[in-house]
Amino acid sequence: MGPAKVEVPSPKRFLLKSSEPKLTEKKPFAYMACGKQRKPPVPPKSENPLKSIQRRKKDFIKTNAIENIRAMPRKPQPIYADTRNGDKHPLESSGLVPKYVKKKSYGQTPEYLQQRKEEARRAQEEYENYIKKHLQQKAMKHLSEEERETVLRGLKTNWRELHHQYQGLPFVTDTLRKKRRKEMLELDMKQLEKDIDLIERHKLIYITSD
């Protein structure tokens, strides 16, 4: 091991004069040779520019004065003072100006609510038609409004009678018979309350022909 052995150049192989690179001959610079054109010369001082290029002088003071004279006067902003010290606030955004009640659509039902109402009416009609067809197939009877009111009045009458009996029960239920009597009255009253609520919530009631 040791330093790497590098071949040393021979002293006989020195650089000769004839082996130097030769430069190209110098040529005068020309614009057309490199694809460029010379810019036009600067015009002399005695030459006057064209009229269209000449800068026009404008009297800004006079122009502004004429524009201000012809302009329409600006309307003062309506304000209101709410304190004795004269604190001023804009009147339009204060809510004191009745601008909403003067609209053409004021007091009218919005269009989207009318659409929802119409959709609900159509859905109810479709549901009623479906129920009618379905019940006709099963031969079920539809209770009229008079029959419905009669049944409802009868249920309420029965509930009042049971409630009167319930109020007449003794306060102390110390026997088995009294407890059963109280429980039976409570069950009957709850069932009547469910039936009354069902009939009051539904106007269309169908019963079987049996």
User: What are the two backbone dihedrals, phi and then psi, of residue 142, each rounded to the nearest 5 degrees?
Assistant: -95, 125
Residue 14's pLDDT band (boundaries 50, 70, 90)?
confident
Smallest CA-to-CA distance from 132 within 124, 140, 120 is with 140
Cα of 49 vs its chain's centroid, Å: 63
The token pair that represents 157 in the structure block = 């009458």
Tokens 């009051």, located at residue: 200
- Is residue 202 within 8 Å of 128, Cβ to Cβ? no
Q: How many CB atoms lie within 10 A of CB 155?
A: 19
For 16-62, the pLDDT digits (tens) are: 766 666 677 887 766 665 556 677 788 888 877 666 555 667 888 99
Give the gyration radius of the chain's Cα atoms. Answer: 54
Contacts of 194 (CB under 8 A, 6+ apart): none
Q: Which tops the pLDDT comparison, 15 or 6?
A: 6
Look at residue 36 in the predicted model and tell me its pLDDT: 63
Q: Is the dihedral of CA 132, 138, 141, 143 positive or negative?
A: negative
CA distance 196 to 179: 26
CA distance 118 to 141: 29
Give the whole-number percent of the chain exceeding pLDDT 70: 83
Residue 138's pLDDT band (boundaries 50, 70, 90)?
low
Helix axes of 176-201 and 145-167: crossing angle, nearest 10 degrees? 160
CA distance 130 to 144: 18
CA distance 78 to 75: 9
Look at residue 55 in the predicted model and tell me its pLDDT: 62
The token pair that represents 23 in the structure block = 């430069």
The DSSP bridge partners found for residue 176 are none
Q: Which tops the pLDDT comparison, 120 or 45?
A: 120
For 62-116, the pLDDT digits (tens) are: 999 999 889 888 888 888 888 888 888 888 888 788 887 778 878 888 889 999 9
User: What are the two backbone dihedrals, phi and then psi, of residue 89, each rounded to the nearest 5 degrees?
Assistant: -140, 155
Smallest CA-to-CA distance from 206 within 110, 123, 126, 139 is with 139
- E-strand ranges in 46-176 read 79-81, 88-90, 140-142
